[in-house]
Homo-oligomer: A and B are copies of this chain.
Amino acid sequence: MLNASTAFQTMTAEEAAEFIHHGDVIGASGFTPSGYPKVIPGALAARATRWHEDGKPFRVSLYTGASTGDELDGVLARAHALSRRLPYQSNPDVRAGINAGEIEFTDMHLSHVAQMVRWGFLPKPTVALVEAVDVTADGRIYLSASGGASASYLQTADRILIELNSFYGRGLKGYHDVYIPEDMPHRQTIPLLHSGDRIGTDYVQVDPSKIKAIVETNLADRSGGFREPDQESKTIAAHILAFLKQERKLGRLHSEQPYQSGVGNVANAVLGSMAADPAQEPVSIYTEVMQDSVIELLLHDKLVVASGAAMTLSPACQLQWKANMDAWRNKFVIRQMEISNSPGIARRLGIIAMNTALELDIFGNVNSTHVMGTKMMNGIGGSGDFTRNAFLPIFMTPSTAKGGAISSIVPMVTHVDHTEHDTMIFVTEQGLADVRGMGPERRAREIIEKCAHPDFRPLLLDYLEAGLRSGSRHTPVTLSRAFEFHNRFLETGSMQY
């Protein structure tokens, strides 16, 4: 069957999957469960399983924007068809494969990925597997709900497989802004001065002869949506909003500076609280993932414009977006993650960055990735791109986990993703620590007093004081005790003493 707007033959997912071979490197669309291919991976997983049953190897590398839906990550992991994965994931089966040593995972700053692919620093994608809303005969590919690194995968790979999804359909055209920086030594300034600036095209241009398959679908992104924020999240959000108000009052923050917020309920609660606050001025968003709360801001007339690498909406919000495609087009820009996460742009715009810490230590180092220093959770994602270059980098986390057995504030984090040099503001439900300009000892006292749970404050202070007695008084670390919280947890199931 010929696709209406193109000269390309459409085919089944099973037929398309035949274009993918053992050893291929797939560069796929998808950034969070948004805009990822939904049917070819399932067919590929079945193909891999048949090969495995015949005693033959069949494994591929998978590069994406970030995490994706189960129809891509989950099916391939369960078919044991993944040899390698980058740069981020959050699927339970992929995570299990990584921690079992079956899947090699490269945990990367998202802003690095596309350029490292183009420069040949990573094995070259052989297949681009991308969801789109339209494809033209001359090779213009209009991406669906996420930007990710799709443009660079499409330009680098030799074979292009497209899932043409009519769920949003062509109404989505015009939302994307595709810009790829020039290669060295000819790279120019990226001419983006405001969150909403459009600096590229709304499609990816490819050589049409590389398009090997088009599979038609009509499927929503499988996004669970977000829970109603709990009391803890609301308290954290309230601390952050009070702090930002104070900064405004002190003349240290301008209302036009954009917000970046990580994925999750606390981040959603902050933007949700802004939407609900009648005194809140309209805000700009320059982020990775545009979630439901961005729609909430829009509906409360509190959104100037939002820019990100993906629209990741709950089923209800997906329908709302679909119904308002034309009206909302000037309110959203979907970018390639090289631009949404660009360090230079984050610094230029003066973003307020809000990200979640897995654990943080009293000196302000943050672990975003490794449970007990060894088990991969999801990956660093864009938190590093934003944190180091933000005007105000904020890390948030509940002060305890597992019913109080785990303290999120520890003597030393078991893995460092954000160093003491990168961080400024920490928030738990206990309060907010502003450590800007402080040396390590003062920072430790501020974090313990403002952020740690009262159950753990004496233990943290005891560690600090012991370090001050025995080590250097600059950063009073005691190596033999640095992981005492974690080792106690591993032995007894609790960090409590």
For the complex, what is the distance from the CA of A343 to the CA of B468, rounded to whole Å?
35
- Once A349-B187, A421-B109, A474-B374 are accepted as A-B contacts, the answer to whether A416 and B416 lie under 8 Å apart by CB is yes
Contact A119 B252 (CB under 8 A): yes
Given A350-B187, A421-B108, A421-B380: A374 touches B477 (CB 8 Å cut-off): yes
Chain B positions within 8 Å of A344 at CB level:
342-345, 347-348
- A370 / chain B contacts, CB cutoff of 8 Å: 475, 477
Instruction: Tell me the smallest distance from the CB of A350 to a CB of chain B, in Å.
Output: 3
- List, in ascending order, chain B residues with CB within 8 A of A421's CB: 107-109, 112, 380, 384, 417
The residue that A343 contacts in the complex, of B184, B257, B347, with Cβ under 8 A, is: B347
A441-486 interface with B by 8 A CB criterion:
441-442, 467-468, 471-480, 482-483, 486
The answer to whether A273 has its CB under 8 Å from any CB of chain B is: no
Known pairs A189-B189, A419-B416, A420-B107; A472 contacts B99 (CB<8 A): yes
Nearest to A121 among chain B residues (CB) is B436
What residues of B have a CB within 8 angstroms of the CB of A477 in the complex? 370, 373-374, 414-415
Q: Which residues of chain B have C-beta atoms less than 8 A from A188's C-beta? A: 193, 348
* Complex Cα spacing A154 to B471, Å: 38
Return A347 CB to nearest CB of chain B, in Å: 6
Over the window 333-373 of chain A, the binary record of Cβ atoms lying under 8 Å from chain B Cβ atoms (1 yes, 0 no) is 00000000011110111100000000000000100001011
A487 at the binding interface (Cβ < 8 Å): yes
Contact A471 B191 (CB under 8 A): no
Q: Which residues of B contact A404 (CB under 8 A)?
A: none
Q: Assess whether B100 is in contact with A473, with CB atoms less than 8 Å apart.
A: yes
Query: Is A105 in contact with B416, judged by CB distance below 8 angstroms?
Result: no
Contact status A189-B185, CB under 8 Å: no
Q: How far is the CB of A485 from chain B (nearest CB, A)?
A: 10
Q: Which residue of B lies closest to A443 (CB)?
A: B106
A426 cross-chain contacts in B, Cβ below 8 A: none
**A365-B416, A416-B416 provided; 8 other pairs, C-beta below 8 A?**
A86-B437, A101-B473, A101-B474, A184-B349, A187-B348, A374-B471, A374-B476, A479-B486
Q: Can you show 28 pairs from A to B with CB atoms below 8 A apart?
A: A84-B439, A99-B472, A101-B468, A105-B439, A107-B420, A109-B421, A121-B437, A122-B436, A123-B437, A184-B257, A184-B349, A185-B349, A187-B193, A188-B193, A188-B348, A189-B190, A342-B347, A370-B477, A373-B479, A374-B471, A376-B474, A376-B475, A380-B419, A388-B388, A415-B475, A415-B477, A479-B490, A482-B483
